Amino acid sequence: MVSTTTTPGAGEQEFRGEGTEGKADMNEAADLPVRPGEDPWSEAELAEVRQELAAEVARLRADIAEAQSELQERLADSVEGAGDDPTDTGAKAYQREHALALAYNTRDLLAQSERAIERMDAGTYGVCESCGNAIGKARLQAFPRATLCVQCKQREERR
């Protein structure tokens, strides 16, 4: 299976690859884009980032399963809180909403982490989804889920 990401245009590059067993589709990690002045990716560096992401995916999936279990328990106990005053009811509603917000955030982080691994597999890891330039090895080592270069992320945050 051959996949192509981004349409080449001004300042963009086309990246193609074929599926392999859990490794970047590009023949070597060194083929992944880096910013000027950065050393190319080594196989060990890319493997370390992939391992971090895989561990995070496992942790996040466990967190989501635990949160779902707790939420189901709370919803199943319909008599819990019977006779509570309005303050207790409000506090419990706040706790439930807070738990739901945390679960939503965890699901979002899980999706970002899984997407980063997919981009490694597709050979597009390190390519800014907005401008098509290199995100930067240092940025990806600090925040492996990044999909935008610093300039595009700043532009997005100003909107």
Residues 6+ apart with CB under 8 A from 142: none
Show me where the domains of the chain are located: 2-158
* CATH 3.40.50.300 is held by the domain 2-158: no
What is the pLDDT tens value at each position of the chain, 159 positions in all? 333 333 333 333 333 333 334 444 344 788 888 899 999 999 999 999 999 999 999 999 999 999 888 878 777 765 565 567 778 778 877 888 888 888 899 999 999 999 999 999 998 999 999 999 999 999 999 999 999 999 999 999 998
Instruction: State residue 2 phi and psi, 5-degree precision.
Output: -110, 130
